Structure 1
């Protein structure tokens, strides 16, 4: 874009030309800023509302929003800087400034005037008040060395022996890390998705040479000691009468072939918050080298309630009388998956049949939005009175479309999927505790996808099991509003100190009590 002035400067008095040029430069800068913002907004609109093949995934969409917000902030800051000489009062920031918790330490810096003497010579002035402002300061992670000193004492008059305090228990006896250091490595890898080799590089910048293999040893040791806590968490979840289940890929290195193979993390979750259930939410991930339905059967041994899941055929064995590990399970299938099937067809060719199915499903979700948070009885009454007739009408419409549409077409395949799971799609009409979809567990496995993308793969099947174990505790802590680092540090310290097995429930994430 040309920044040449659009007016003839020769007709402007020389004394005013500098001011006019400044205004023109400001105009050109604003034009460039607007052009940049328009470009970002156009790209974001395309990503959100464009063709399916051109849309961004959730992570990329967040990056697009970040770029847009950054550009807006830069433009506003530039405007403030250029307007400062003409408008001394600073405008208040229009963006959210965030909340500073009372638990954060405060460092007060008192700024006194250069002189407290009254200008008129009356003497020293008296303090009548103050202005206080708070800003967030961030100190980079501090590395420190804990030096444990155990003095030895002996009697000068006799030789009865030496007295010395016993050495404190450590999770890794004779090793470098404190339990806090172990917790930091675990959270960085499994909550912040920072692979161990990158953590090693960060520590090296601070002068700490710790090879990735050393950090891996730490992770493996911590995962082993946390195993009983995860096992108890699993037992606790399986006492529930309703759970969610889903699975996601976990690439694992196959040393024999020198490449990766596809393992799976199976998620078993409880989340009763939408109807005020008394049990705390939780999730357990279990690693398996494949997606065979036997894995779900093994994980669910001892559970006989309602299971909310998608339409993967591997779950079919759970409903059979021959099911291993318990009675046949009642399944509740996911309307979000049914909707997704129709949305794929609508996005592809604008099918009117798919559009009608989407409209009907939207009516079900509108009712669900209105009754969210009500107790199970109220939810069930509302569903029987308002939702059941809509579902029955959807079933009649579905039957009619299945007769009209070729089952070999893409639309026919999607309609067949919905028809095949029709019984499970009606389970939520018979129990107010059941959700209309399995989105709760899908939200819980998203961090696994981030770790998978950043770490590329687990180095071994055992690495997949460690991944599952630590991810279980971190995810459960997060959905219970527990800070994962504080929880893991305290739990590892308790394990190192010999926490009794009989009180292992005290170590479950929802029982953690942060220290003041």
Structure 2
């Protein structure tokens, strides 16, 4: 910025330039403040709505189990909103902070639980002035840890050391925690997250399990932990999405999930979308995206400017993407399924022959699975292309012989209409033959859905999608989800944002002990 005393030495043109620079800087700061204030206003409104839902009249029509699940999600949503607002209020150039709320006095952890002391003492007890410091006391903070079936307590003891000469007190600090001033260790937080999103145990069941282990943690407390951890882990999910979109071959699929609309106590069909790099890409990962519907706009919003080869089924929601430049790659397993269902229904000879020919193609795929892309393409050209060309001609002839509207006609039409997309893998060794890779990643969600009544809110569904993205990606890379989340939650508070990619499941290396 130009100093006042130097203004007189500037020419008129220089003054205009300097003034323009100051105005642009002020406008940028005003825009930043306006954006942050808009986000805070939005979160404040959402917070008020959640509180009204939490303290709503008892006459709302939920059965006891439904009500408890909804209360869990509201508590988690409230904690998530609070964490997001705290992050905004702690940012620089913010309006004056509101007075800090007094924290409720926490009850001591049960005395019967085993304790493990972790001492934080200075490496040297010699003061900077050269005098030897004396230990004058200590601060003790207790955190609740959990191993399957067993609670224990970590006692963090911070000795106080004083120098008599310079009257200075020295005390080692404790590393930042993902939940500041909270009682859970990252091991306990990882257990709650894995229980809820990998083992599909609602929080009221976890409360009972913890009770049998010696301490029944209220589900409202567990929900607050879940909400806060969801916010803290979101930057990892965002980085994983960026990583996935850097690849030119992607799988996409979606599965329905019931979502509650608290206004009328009813549910409607929401969708969990799944995206993963191609089966032959050099990364194993998946990102789930929870949305209120199956509208194609959600896929377009997720993929943004990405233009590559998308393996998907014949769902119309992807057509706008394909029209905008995305290359459609069909799923041969879907085409095969049409003939399989036809053969199972009436032992159709046409379906039987089609299945035999497709089996030859899949046999080639088993042979080329471990080859590199050029070798895979060469073998496909030699062995699969002749089979598929003959199959197409045979299908065209059979289609002329069967009546329109019949089950056989529908099975043939599905393949013939999409033949270019279904056989695109023959010319590109990097493309997989079907969409089974992403269907395998979405299957755990479909299985876990049997334990869900519904997603309590859009925010709750998005939080579940984020955490499940990390858990499933960790599994895909051979990691124990509990060990992965425990380590990541431990490192996140002090990890540089510019190096967040180091904590992604496919790059993660456990902290050396």
Same fold (TM over 0.5): yes
CA–CA distance in structure 2, aligned partners of residues 450 and 435 of structure 1:
25
Superposed CA offset, 1:344-395 (max 9, x none) = 1111111111112111111111111121111111111111111111111111
What is the deviation of 1:435?
1.0
CA–CA distance in structure 2, aligned partners of residues 372 and 472 of structure 1:
26
Partner of 1:456: 453
Residue from 484, 492, 499 that aligns with 2:495? 499
SS at 1:432 equivalent: coil
What is the deviation of 1:271?
4.4
What is the deviation of 1:151?
2.3
RMSD: 1.6
What is the deviation of 1:157?
5.3
Partner of 1:509: 505
Partner of 2:153: 145
Superposed CA offset, 1:460-514 (max 9, x none) = 1111101110111111111111221111111111112x21111111111122112
1:379 paired to 2:382: no
Q: Is the 8 A contact 2:287 2:469 kept in 1?
A: yes
1:348 paired to 2:345: yes
1:170 paired to 2:170: no
What is the deviation of 1:280?
2.0
SS at 1:347 equivalent: helix
Superposed CA offset, 1:218-241 (max 9, x none) = 111111111111111111111111
CA–CA distance in structure 1, aligned partners of residues 264 and 397 of structure 2:
51
CA–CA distance in structure 2, aligned partners of residues 471 and 216 of structure 1:
16
What is the deviation of 1:407?
2.6
Residue from 396, 401, 420 that aligns with 2:417? 420
Q: Is the 8 A contact 2:151 2:214 kept in 1?
A: no
What is the deviation of 1:161?
4.2
What is the deviation of 1:263?
1.2
Larger fraction in strand: 2
What is the deviation of 1:156?
4.2
What is the deviation of 1:408?
1.3
SS at 1:262 equivalent: strand
Q: Kindly name which structure, 1 or 2, has the bigger radius of gyration based on alpha carbons.
A: 1
CA–CA distance in structure 1, aligned partners of residues 201 and 458 of structure 2:
20
Partner of 2:216: 209
Q: Is the 8 A contact 1:428 1:435 kept in 2?
A: yes
Residue from 227, 236, 239 that aligns with 1:232? 239
Residue from 293, 297, 301 that aligns with 2:296? 293
TM alignment of 1:460-499, pairs within 5 A: 460-496=457-493, 498-499=494-495
Superposed CA offset, 1:104-143 (max 9, x none) = xxxxxxxxxxxxxxxxxxxxxxxxxxxxxxxxxxx95321
SS at 2:153 equivalent: coil
Partner of 1:89: none
TM alignment of 1:235-250, pairs within 5 A: 235-250=242-257
Structure 2: stretches of 5+ with no match in the other structure: 1-146
CA–CA distance in structure 1, aligned partners of residues 296 and 337 of structure 2:
23
SS at 2:152 equivalent: coil
What is the deviation of 1:211?
2.2
Q: Taking structure 1 as reference, are residues 358 and 147 closer, same or farther at Cα in structure 2, changes over 3 Å only?
A: same
Residue from 390, 397, 403 that aligns with 1:406? 403
Superposed CA offset, 1:136-166 (max 9, x none) = xxx95321111222222334456x3432222
What is the TM-score normalised by the length of structure 1? 0.68
TM alignment of 1:74-85, pairs within 5 A: none
What is the TM-score normalised by the length of structure 2? 0.69
What is the deviation of 1:402?
2.1
1:182 paired to 2:193: no
CA–CA distance in structure 2, aligned partners of residues 398 and 456 of structure 1:
44
Larger CA deviation: 223-232 vs 143-152: 143-152
